[in-house]
A and B are shown apart, each in its own frame.
Chain A
Amino acid sequence: QKEVEQNSGPLSVPEGAIASLNCTYSDRGSQSFFWYRQYSGKSPELIMSIYSNGDKEDGRFTAQLNKASQYVSLLIRDSQPSDSATYLCAVHGSSNTGKLIFGQGTTLQVKP
């Protein structure tokens, strides 16, 4: 079983729709969870971080965490073509070192 699992996609949504990106992780003791966005040929940039169960909203983005189900998701409301990118889920394990485990990433395509 992969430590952090994402559907590689591509996930295609029309402009203005809600895009839902999902991620599961295997380390039940994981402490922190991150969503990074990576445009083609660019480096990852942080979109959201979440540390406790529930929802966290920031503009059009909402991160959802369910530690019991070992599941974290990212919702993008009113999707724009500029949101087209690969979204990387990253999970910090239960040790105290700064070791992030990344998923393979989900490619999102927002069609005008």
Chain B
Amino acid sequence: ETGVTQTPRHLVMGMTNKKSLKCEQHLGHNAMYWYKQSAKKPLELMFVYNFKEQTENNSVPSRFSPECPNSSHLFLHLHTLQPEDSALYLCASTPGGGALETQYFGPGTRLLVL
């Protein structure tokens, strides 16, 4: 788990709050991902960054705003969230974003929106 770290591990926020999730990978990878995992639903890809450029936005509402300042860091800025956004948010990385690569997941941030 130390290859990909995420902070905070738990977050409770109101619908009017603004917060940010942080992900850092120490694996020398060039692709980073945000996933959402809700109860009883498959893991959903949200965003993909490859060499700091966003290559995938899986129709995610604008209240989720990603930022990738460099290949090692990925942020997810949250504002005016809804209770249905409560979920486990997982960050992952791969060496280059290719089809055969294993995703290395961080421990996740468990988010509760009140």
User: A: which residues have CB within 8 A of B?
Assistant: 2, 4, 8, 31-32, 34, 36, 42-46, 49, 51, 88, 90, 92, 96-105
Structural contact, B103 and A100, CB atoms closer than 8 A:
yes
A-B Cβ contacts below 8 A, count:
68
Structural contact, A98 and B107, CB atoms closer than 8 A:
no
Query: Chain A residues near B40 (CB, 8 Å)?
Result: 8, 104
The 4 A-B pairs with the shortest beta carbon distances in the complex, nearest first, are A98-B97, A102-B43, A43-B105, A92-B99
Chief secondary structure at chain B's binding surface: loop
What is the interface residue range for chain B against chain A?
Answer: 20 to 34
If the complex has contacts A43-B90, A98-B31, are A31 and B43 also in contact, measured as CB distance less than 8 A?
Answer: no
Shortest CB distance B101–A (Å): 7
27 contacts between A and B (CB under 8 A): A2-B42, A31-B99, A32-B99, A34-B103, A42-B107, A43-B105, A43-B106, A44-B90, A49-B102, A88-B43, A90-B103, A92-B99, A92-B100, A96-B98, A98-B48, A98-B55, A98-B56, A98-B94, A98-B101, A98-B103, A99-B45, A100-B45, A102-B43, A102-B44, A104-B40, A104-B41, A104-B42
